[in-house]
Homo-oligomer: A and B are copies of this chain.
Amino acid sequence: MSSVTLHKGENCAFLTNTRITEKVPKKGKQTVTFKNPPHIQGRMSVVGAKEGKGPLGKYFHKVLDDDKMGEKTFENAEIKMLTTAIDGAVKDSGLKTKDIDLIISGDLLNQVTTSNYVAREYHVPYLGIYSACSTMTEALNLASTFISAGHFENVLCSTASHFATAERTYRYPLEYGCQRPPYAQWTVTGAGCTVLSASGNGPKITMGTVGRVIDFGTTDLNNMGAAMAPAAMDTMVALFRETGTKPSDFDLIITGDLGKLGSDILRDLMMEQGYNLGQRYIDCGNMIFDVTQKCYQGGSGAACSATVFNSFVLDKILDGTYGTVAYFATGALMNTQSCYQGETIPCISHAVVIER
């Protein structure tokens, strides 16, 4: 998909001015094994028309023909999209909205307003989170903790992103018609929701790894893959080391939205750490669009991995293709102002392990 050609050993050259070098934690673990692992009992993915035409189109539960969903603003469309995903996931779980004990949600907009306005309609306890495109795995980690601790029975995790609202928030107004560099990615228009329950027979979330903020000094707001790959590496290494596992112990290893360039960088970084990810590694951003769709390095956005996980990945777990899956969503934690003020891009990746 990439129009940037990478030669072996070359793609990490820009990382030499590392602001913060990788350190292992002094004490304590990032990974928790859940005593009472929750079950994935319901899910739903909603995507825009462009995503529906991509290679994973047939897996998504709902493909919109109008990215504005008949609303006046793109922000309202994003709210409607997330509501559709939540309602669908609750229905899929066989529960009613009144059975949901807690909503954990976040998104990319300033003050996570999509999630806030959606939560307003449900009269259910709500925790807003911010972890950029790593929102889905932060939510799954928190929900699994609440359920494993016996605090709540049914917890809903959700996130959304929209190409038009993300461009307005992070880059330029669409009307400006800004040119995109070849290493750019395309924010996925979509929403994903997963319902976790204390009981049931769905796939279980058995482990969770809370990420650390990693910053290798990338400053280009268009080059998210390069910025986020070191964070994915950091969390991946933590999970493998702390649980005594290696890539071949998993049937599938997924990252969120590194895209083609970012996932190539991750492969190299992991190789430097002594792990060969091989054929079992996929990146949702690298899969969601094909080369004809002019998205350069692929998809990005909180909905990228949230929609792929809740459709294709869970389908393949449920049909027996994959037994044990490690899911590392990846997020870039800057805002436009911090970058204008000369800051580099700090990133994070939270992970969960799903077992059939």
- Chain A residues close to B by CB (< 8 Å): 20, 23, 25-30, 32, 35, 72-73, 75-76, 98-99, 101-102, 106, 108-113, 116-117, 119-120, 122-132, 138, 141-142, 145-146, 148-153, 169, 210-215, 333-338, 341, 343, 346, 348
Q: Which residue of B lies closest to A33 (CB)?
A: B151
Which of the residues B111, B151, B337 comes within 8 Å of A113, measured between beta carbons? B337
Q: How far is the CB of A57 from chain B (nearest CB, A)?
A: 30
B-side contacts of A212, CB under 8 Å: 119, 123-126
In the A-B complex, the 5 residue pairs with the smallest Cβ-Cβ separation, listed nearest first, are A26-B98, A149-B149, A116-B333, A125-B210, A111-B335
Chain B residue numbers with a CB within 8 Å of A335 are 109-111, 113
Closest to A116 in B: B333
Which residue of B has the minimal Cβ distance to A154? B28
Residue on B nearest A111 in the bound complex, by CB: B335
- Cβ-defined contact, B23 with A123, below 8 A: yes
Residues of B within 8 A of A30 (CB): 125
Check B129–A127 contact: CB distance below 8 A. yes
A245 to chain B, nearest CB (A): 18
B residues in contact with A72, CB < 8 Å: 341
CB distance from A35 to the nearest CB of B (A): 8
Flag if B113 contacts A110 (CB, 8 Å): no
Separation of A76 and B150 alpha carbons in the complex (Å): 40
CB contacts (< 8 Å) of A101 on chain B: these are 28-29
Known: A145-B146, A335-B109. A129 touches B126 (CB 8 A): no
**CB-CB nearest in chain B for A169:** B110
Q: Which of B131, B152, B153 contacts A128 (CB 8 A)?
A: B131
Instruction: Name the distance in Å between A105's Cβ and chain B's nearest Cβ.
Output: 10
Taken together as a complex, chains A and B put the C-alpha atoms of A287 and B125 apart, in Å, by: 29
Please determine whether B337 and A75 come into contact, CB atoms closer than 8 angstroms: yes
Q: For the complex, what is the distance from the CA of A124 to the CA of B211, rounded to whole Å?
A: 8
Selected A-B contacts with CB under 8 Å, 23 pairs: A25-B125, A28-B99, A28-B153, A32-B152, A35-B149, A73-B341, A75-B337, A75-B338, A109-B337, A111-B333, A113-B333, A113-B334, A117-B338, A117-B346, A119-B346, A120-B215, A122-B213, A125-B210, A127-B142, A128-B130, A145-B145, A145-B149, A149-B149
